[in-house]
Chains A and B, each alone.
Chain A
Amino acid sequence: MANDRMIEIRWHGRGGQGAKTAALLFAEAVLSTGKYVQAFPEYGPERMGAPVQSFNRISEQPITLHCAITEPSFVVVLDPTLMDSVPVVEGLRKDGKVIVNTQFSAKEIAAKLKVSSDKVFVVNASKIAMDTIGLNIPNTPMLGALVKVIGDLDIEGVLKDTRHKLEQKFRHKPQVIDGNLESIKRAYNEVQSEQAVAAKNA
């Protein structure tokens, strides 16, 4: 089935947190690394704070699938409170990974989501965003965390492309560009699994 051929990603956020923007930015950044991409949001009732989803597909080959993603290889959770109300790991593939913006450990999140801890990666993207951008907008740092967890994407290429995109979007607010890029780098370096923690402590 198609699942074996490509990476499929599901973003969970709340209306206004930038789940859609993150998926679009991520797609453009991945295109710059030479892969085929799709990014699409799930459009439901649109209001601030409501649970929303967006999606990405990445492949070495042209992507012709245009159906929903129900068995993601990666799930990104922008808002940890969603774990109380939305089944964020639903359909996650056997070898799938979930990346959560949280201050808790991978072990604690794994227990909460009732999945094995080797599936879980955590990063405090909200804190990173506060430190680097000055606002709690965790979508850009989560891009960095996702690039790290996927593994075979070139972070330098992603940073370069994102800088280019942000320079176009924020040409009147250049101060936010460096902060956003710093947030991606920090999340890339700080995202961790339980295994990484165990290895460090050993």
Chain B
Amino acid sequence: MSSRILPGLAAGLLLGATSFGAMAADLVVYHSWSAAPEVAALNVLKAGIEAKGHTWTDIAIPHNTGSNVNLMSLVTGGQPPNVFMESNPGVYRDLAGMGFGFPLTQWYTDNHVTENLPAAVAASIAVDGEIVKVPTALHIDGMVYYNKDVAAAVGVDPASWTSLDAMFADFQKVRDAGYAPVAVGSQPFQVGYLMHALVAAIAGPDIYSSIYGGDVDPAVFDDPAFAKTLETLRLFSQEAGREAQNRPWNETTNQVITGKALMQVHGDWMKGEWLGAGKVAGKDFGCVEIPGAKSVVVTVDAWGLLGGVSDEMKAAELDFASVVVDPEIQAKFSAAKGSTPVRLDAPAASLDACSTEVLSILADPARQVQSPNNTVDSDWQSSIWDVVFNYWGDPSMSVEDVIAKLKDNYETILG
């Protein structure tokens, strides 16, 4: 008898609880994450949402395109998600045009979030001057990750390098010991990312912004620092063997993990591969910024909130935002995903060696720039990738050729 009554009673109580909490809502969450660390990170957010009395309905669709067609088809079909993972500013402009924009600047100010964000994060969550995104994870586009065992075996210490010259000077020692100094993947995407990371590191934030910022100024191509960047890129390309041809970044990372190469320069999402192989940051592998870097490039994964909904739903969506940017939850989220918290005030104890390093770099607002994906015309970016990749693969192409070609492309695309 009691066994029949109890579940009924429990269900009744639950129903009562949900109807009492008038704010409870079902949030439809659209994203493109399905890898194990990503799912673990999403579950951190889900627990936070559920603690606020809401439920999480999941839609996962992978996408690699800039315009996010799948999100737009859900919106067109009249079943838009309440929150969606999206960084491309164009999507936010489109949504605002359709009456689904959700401006958040006031909310950020009221909740004292903005002042705790690194400058590049604060810049990348705004579209046309209005904050519309909720930053969830942060990555640096060009970090040096190195195998500590190899470094110890060879007798070099990447953490001691203060300039790229010092780094390249040590390479012969690595080669003599029978290791590849740097693992590179000859793929347009990897070379393109290496290029913009090097521009930020060697040529500095001003020249970077004149190439990868919103307003492109072709005059900076004549700057000697830009030529120096290209010469450095050539040094990296000389480390690419035949096997590097079209090698994906994660396989390149595995060259370092398995101790065939000393280091790799790539986005610090490589940490996921290291953690996946059971390695520990600071113990098995180390991470430093590009030696002597003038600035670093910051990629931000962010959520958008759907506007044009009921006030109740708006409140629920803002609850979601407050969960995402909560410092404690940020720390847990980043530990699960292998990213770095987007807040400078994330509890230090929960950070691994690499995230600590990244946040210490980002404490200085003058030394960080946004990822080109956030700012630059996509035709212009792919034309840079194209030229730089040709330069990478063709030793007879000179720095002057690259500069001439880039100027030419500028005239065609943006001139």
A and B from one complex: no
Contact residues of A with B, CB < 8 Å?
none
Interface of B with A (CB < 8 Å)? none
